[in-house]
Structure 1
Amino acid sequence: MNLSSQLHETAKASAEKIAYYFLDKPCTYAELDGAITKFASGLEKLGVKQGDHIALLLGNSPHFVISLYGALRAGATVIPVNPIYTADEIGYILHNGDVKVVVGLDMMIPLAEKVHSQLPKVEHYIICETEHNGLGQPGVEQLSIYPKVKSFTAVVDSGDLSYQGPELQDEDTALILYTSGTTGKPKGAMLTHKNLFSNAQDVGHYLRMNNDDRVITTLPMFHVFCLTVALNAPLLSGATILIVPKFSPREIFRITKKYEATVFAGVPTMYNFLYQYPDGNAEDLKTFRLCISGGASLPVALLKNFEAKFNVVISEGYGLSEASPVTCFNPLDRPRKPGSIGTSILHVENKVVNELGEEVPVGEVGELIVRGPNVMKGYYKMPEETQAAIKDGWLYTGDMARMDEEGYFYIVDRKKDLIIVGGYNVYPREVEEVIYNHKDVVEVAVLGVPDPNQGEVVSAYVVSKNPDLTSDQLLEYCREHLAKYKVPSTIEFLEELPKNTTGKILRRALKKQVTHTVGN
């Protein structure tokens, strides 16, 4: 069994059940399954074969759901991409990921025109029409990508409901998720059909999802947290998802009341905005049976304040892209421990080890490692990185943790130097490489600094050879080459950066230096 085939079975058993609401418009499981089948068939007619790679540059919408499940049903490998990435970032993923088909909004046309000359393997751009239909804009026919452009609606309409699709194997690669790497270049974590199905099923069971649930899907669908917890697990359980294109407290409160939502999944930043929203009260969220937090550590003070104000329980968990992603959750049948990521979910093992890979005693700190049917098969075209990450079947997360006597895990430190901005991972090296490319920059070091809204924000410390270079100029340069959440919130110019005897920049010393300066 896999995600697509299970949805097909649900559609046969509960044809008229509402699968999702989007902009207050309902869609039944039968309607959704039909669109998925026709899209898969349409892909085949475009020449898509089993194992081909399809990139999705889409936000939260029915287009994403249909494209994801349709591509999987056709036997293709899906590569979700953050649509707010810059042309450089998107171009790298499409090229490295050997993408054959790109599905995106019509607003993507100018970006595609900019990068397509570097992407000879891309044969089709499937454009999802919006109210500002890019396909009808004057001059589009003159663009060099135009012969490769197809309408999403036309692809679906060309498909056949009788389409069966190839037989899928558990170990076939279903998804490639690109994660930022310490080398500055993203790595593609290959997740199989078994990885995705098992984690969605186990998360659904762990959180007791059922066909009466109405799950708010406002986390980005291209992010693995949403994919498993707020999309795949609910659909696997026959639940209804409430698709929110863009998070806003006002919209969350409105949708919750209108549809009596039962489950909300979000990152700490979202909980903070909901808590601060002046018009929100406990009556608004009275239908919630469960709130889920992940993506970054949830401050205990915020957790307690939110629960006291809205009379709901937040269950914090832990995961990473390489594990599809969930490995731990606070259990629903035992006491929730604030500050803990919970216990191992069904079929997944977590343990804390020392540098030799030996399990450490209860309470001691070591590296968290994971084993289970959810662990990736490896990084795409990166065998050395795969061997470093997976040893004897265990995935080494790089996160430092401890376990208490009741089997609850606690993250005590993040991966070295990792910055988490609103639930998104930002590695300093990736930002530094962009800044280093500026002609006036001599040295740069990037750190994460606490922020009440985003959890952390990026801060850059630069040594420049041009005394006239301003932070505004450098920030504008960053905006051209980095996604919005990776752009530094501040850039400070220094005479020199602290280094050790070999010339290596000492981040910890810099952080202490900056903290001391701010404190004084």
Structure 2
Amino acid sequence: MNLSTALEQAAAKQGGKAAYHFLDQTATYEELNMAVQRFASGLKTLGIEQGDHVALIAGNSPHFIVALYGALRAGVTVIPINPLYSPEEISYIVQNGDAKAVILLDILVPLVNKLDASLPLVEHYIVCETNDERVKRGEPKQFSIYEKMKTFSEVINIGLLPFYPPVVDENETAVILYTSGTTGKPKGAMLSHKNLYSNARDIASYLQFSGKDRIITVLPMFHVFCLTVCLNAPLISGATMIIFPKFSPKEVFAQAKHYEATVFAGVPTMYNFLYQASEGHLEDFSSIRLCISGGSSMPVALLENFEKKFNVRVSEGYGLSEASPVTAFNPLDRPRKAGSIGCSISNVENKVVNELGEEVPTGEVGELIVWGPNVMKGYYKQPEETDAAIKDGWLYTGDLARQDEEGYFYIVDRKKDLIIVGGYNVYPREVEEVLYSHQDIVEGAVLGVPDPNYGEAVLAFVVSKNEQLTKGELMEYCRSRLADYKLPKEIEFLTELPKNTTGKILRRALKKQVLKN
């Protein structure tokens, strides 16, 4: 069993039921499965074969679902990419991921047109039509990639039926998710069909998803949290997705009330904006049976205030891309413990160990490690990184945690130096690489500081050899090379950075200075 066959079974059992609502569109399970079948056939007609890789830059839309499931049905590996990434970031992932085709929003055509020369392996650009006026004004024939372009509709239309999908082994790579790397370059976590299906199945069972559920899908689909909890798990369960192209508190409340949504999943930043929004009222979430939070720790005060205002239960969980992603969640049949990530979900084992890999006593802090059918195959083309992350089948998360006597886990600290901005991971080294690439920067250091809206914000310290260089100029330099959420909120110029005796920059000393001030 895999995600594609699970969708086929759902279509056979309840073909007339709504699979999703998106703006003014609704598709049944039968319609969705037929579109997936035609897209899979269309890919094969284009010469994209089993084992090939395609990049998917489609945002939250039916295009994303059809492309993802169509590619999986054809035995093709999908590389989801954040549409907000900078050209450099997109180019690196497409190149490193050996993508043979890129499925993209029409608004991104001008961007990839400029990148095409650096993407020699890409043979096809499949353009998702959103009727964006900026694309309409630029005649497609003016783009140098015009000969490689096909619209999404064209690919579906060239698909021949009946289409007989290839036999796909459950251990074949289904998706490669690129995560921020400590070395400054993202690493591609290879998730197999078994990894993705098992986690969707197990989290759906753990959270008691059913065909009666209507799940708000507003988290970004390219992110593994949404991919499993708000897309794959609902489709496995025969539930209905209420898809949002972007997060808007006003729209979330309106659509939740209109469709009588039963499940909301978001990161703490979203909960904060919903709580603060003047549009939000008790009756808007009256049909919600469960609120799910992940991506980063939610402040207990926010969790309790949100529950009180909307009379709902907010349950936190834990996951990471390398684990497809969910490993722990607060159980529904026992008390929810504020500040805890809950207990191990079905078929997954979490353990807290010391530096020797030995399990520590209850209550003691150690590194959280994970075992289960959801643990990734490894990092794409990075065997050394894989060996460092997976030992004897256990995934070492790098997060410090403790476990209480009832089996609930608590994250004590995150991966060293990791910054989480609105649920997105930002590694300081990645931002520092950009700073160091500026001709006037001698040295730099980046760290996370508390932020009332996004949980954390990026703060940069730099030493410049050019006294005329301004914060604004350096910020613009970073903006052209980094996604917006990775940009420093503030840049401070110093004459020197604190270092230890070996010359290593001391981020902790900088953080102490910030917190002191």
TM norm. shorter chain > 0.5: yes
* Counterpart residue number, 1:131: 131
What one-letter code is carried by the residue in structure 2 that aligns with 1:295? G
Structure-to-structure mapping, 1:71-220, within 5 angstroms: 71-132=71-132, 137-220=137-220
* Counterpart residue number, 2:34: 34
**Contact kept? 2:113, 2:144, Cα under 8 Å:** yes
Moved more, 1-10 or 131-140: 131-140
Moved more, 156-165 or 1-10: 156-165
- Counterpart-to-counterpart distance in 2, 1:130 and 1:279: 28
SS in 2 for 1:246: coil
- Counterpart-to-counterpart distance in 2, 1:220 and 1:347: 26
Structure-to-structure mapping, 1:335-414, within 5 angstroms: 335-414=335-414
**Contact kept? 1:106, 1:134, Cα under 8 Å:** no
What one-letter code is carried by the residue in structure 2 that aligns with 1:507? R
**Contact kept? 1:109, 1:134, Cα under 8 Å:** no
SS in 1 for 2:351: strand
What one-letter code is carried by the residue in structure 2 that aligns with 1:305? N
CA distances 1:74-123 after superposition (whole Å, capped 9, x unpaired): 10000000011011000000000000010011111111111111111000
Structure-to-structure mapping, 1:288-299, within 5 angstroms: 288-299=288-299
**Contact kept? 2:102, 2:126, Cα under 8 Å:** yes
SS in 2 for 1:211: coil
**Contact kept? 2:77, 2:174, Cα under 8 Å:** yes
User: How far 1:193 moved relative to its partner?
Assistant: 0.2
- Counterpart-to-counterpart distance in 2, 1:493 and 1:138: 42
User: How far 1:24 moved relative to its partner?
Assistant: 3.1
What one-letter code is carried by the residue in structure 2 that aligns with 1:475? M
What one-letter code is carried by the residue in structure 2 that aligns with 1:457? A
**Contact kept? 1:352, 1:360, Cα under 8 Å:** yes
- Counterpart-to-counterpart distance in 1, 2:175 and 2:447: 31
* Counterpart residue number, 2:251: 251
**Contact kept? 1:180, 1:426, Cα under 8 Å:** yes
* Counterpart residue number, 1:425: 425
User: How far 1:140 moved relative to its partner?
Assistant: 3.0
- Counterpart-to-counterpart distance in 2, 1:365 and 1:130: 49
* Counterpart residue number, 1:3: 3
**Contact kept? 2:110, 2:143, Cα under 8 Å:** no
Task: Evaluate the alpha carbon distance shift between residue 349 and residue 149 of structure 1 in structure 2; reply closer, same or farther with a 3 A threshold.
Answer: same
List, as ranges, runs of 4+ consecutive aligned residues in structure 1 with deviation greater than 4 Å.
133-139
SS in 2 for 1:481: coil
* Counterpart residue number, 1:495: 495
- Counterpart-to-counterpart distance in 2, 1:165 and 1:134: 37
- Counterpart-to-counterpart distance in 2, 1:102 and 1:273: 34
**Contact kept? 2:365, 2:400, Cα under 8 Å:** yes
User: How far 1:158 moved relative to its partner?
Assistant: 1.1
What one-letter code is carried by the residue in structure 1 that aligns with 2:386? T
SS in 1 for 2:480: helix
**Contact kept? 1:37, 1:160, Cα under 8 Å:** no
- Counterpart-to-counterpart distance in 2, 1:407 and 1:491: 42
- Counterpart-to-counterpart distance in 1, 2:56 and 2:133: 18
**Contact kept? 2:253, 2:279, Cα under 8 Å:** no
- Counterpart-to-counterpart distance in 2, 1:136 and 1:469: 39
What one-letter code is carried by the residue in structure 2 that aligns with 1:246? K
User: How far 1:515 moved relative to its partner?
Assistant: 1.9
- Counterpart-to-counterpart distance in 1, 2:133 and 2:65: 20
SS in 2 for 1:474: helix
- Counterpart-to-counterpart distance in 1, 2:477 and 2:133: 30
User: How far 1:133 moved relative to its partner?
Assistant: 6.3
- Counterpart-to-counterpart distance in 2, 1:396 and 1:130: 41
- Counterpart-to-counterpart distance in 2, 1:456 and 1:298: 12
- Counterpart-to-counterpart distance in 2, 1:238 and 1:485: 34
Taking only aligned residues, the RMSD between alpha carbons, in angstroms, comes to 0.9
- Counterpart-to-counterpart distance in 1, 2:45 and 2:161: 13
Give identity over the alignment, percent.
69
CA distances 1:328-380 after superposition (whole Å, capped 9, x unpaired): 00000000000000000000000000000000000000000000000000000
SS in 1 for 2:445: strand
What one-letter code is carried by the residue in structure 1 that aligns with 2:118? Q
Structure-to-structure mapping, 1:47-66, within 5 angstroms: 47-66=47-66
Would you say 1:223 and 2:223 are equivalent positions?
A: yes
